[in-house]
Amino acid sequence: MNAITREDETQILDSIQRWLDKDVKPHVLRLEHADEYPHEMVAQMKEFGLFGATIPPEYGGLGLPASTYAKIVTMISSVWMSLTGIFNSHLIMATAVQRYGTEAQKRHFLPRFAAGEIRGGLALTEPDCGTDLQAIRTRAVRDGDDYVINGTKTWISNGIEGSCFALLVKTDMDVQPRHRGMTMFLAEKRDGFSVSRKLEKLGYKGLDSAELIFQDYRVPADCLIGGEEGRGFHHAVGGLELGRINVAARGVGIANAALRDSVAYAQVRKTMGKPICEHQAIQLKLGDMATRCEAARLLVESAAGAYDRGERCDMEAGMAKLFASEAAVENSLEAMRIHGGYGYSKEFDIERYYRDAPLMCIGEGTNEIQRIIIAKQLVARNPA
């Protein structure tokens, strides 16, 4: 990953903050409650180069390190978390090509991904398969220079608005261990690839989540990532480190927003003749909320630093994702309690934080799985 100066990073973050203040904050409530896709904001994100944030400059991207990328995600999530999902899933797809694709695949796809000309994401989850990726049933069968794919994917981010997906399939249904029969393709929308329905969600509005159907869908063999069957599970898991850092950064953003709004409200809301920030009950909440924010931020910083150094960081990313997502949930609930009835009102942002936060505990591997990953790595790194 290319280095970036502190001055360059500051300039990027300042530009994004100005955009958030001017073009995002005034429209979030309307778009959120209408569950409307933010086409204009997506066009602006293309101009910023966010769809190529982590793609190397030689392929038209910004080549940002994960540490800077995480700060961008945190900043945007503190205003409207849904926007980060639009480019995060896309960038995990790009990471799969960047890390494992053939040079021809990199030359063909990465510049188009970076420009936002082709946008998409990951197509892993199926109706009967989430965390246990090896249980997928979508199948690809070789037919001459193509593969023919049949199956269903669900809860796919960017499923409606996106046009290309890193699609995980089975090319061998019988091999053991099961992961050796898994392969990943770059699947662009055309005949045989359809969207069956948009999935309604508690939160994470604005981002389209959909069910995808593949019925005798033909994909050229040269769209098999890396050109070799049986590597799909490795490709999928390899992109989840960056994905988990992203989810952790989102958690920090939501936790920060809940704290920010609570500190402001506690100074203007009065009870018993004084601002509620002077009541010890509120002070205890604010103190815990602030501590969670800082601890979560440092864990994300640590994980992103390890990723940038090229180190294995599934434990660090898992720790950051686990703690930051739980911090977001706890801070959103405490913010609602501090705001009282206003926190429950759709006229304020607090109820949105409360609806968005639980997704972070589920997405990119549940927090239960994160605990297991952390424990296994802890033992492996510290043999008796």
Catalytically active residues are: 364
- DSSP state letters, 207-224: S-EEEEEEEEEEEEGGGB
Residue 116 backbone zone (phi > 0: left; psi -120 to 50: alpha; other: beta): left
Q: Are 256 and 74 in contact (CB under 8 A)?
A: yes
Task: Tell me the residue type at 166.
Answer: A
Q: Are 60 and 114 in contact (CB under 8 A)?
A: yes
Taking CA atoms, 314 is separated from 19, 279, 320, 376, in Å, by 33, 42, 10, 10
DSSP secondary structure code for residue 345 in this structure: S
CA distance 177 to 163: 32
Helical residues (DSSP H) of the chain, grouped into ranges: 6-19, 28-34, 39-48, 66-80, 82-100, 103-115, 232-268, 280-308, 314-339, 350-360, 367-381
User: Which tokens go with 120?
Assistant: 């998409």
Angle at 118 between CA 41 and CA 196, to 5 degrees: 85
Nearest to 162 by CA among 122, 135, 126: 122
Task: Determine the length of the chain.
Answer: 384
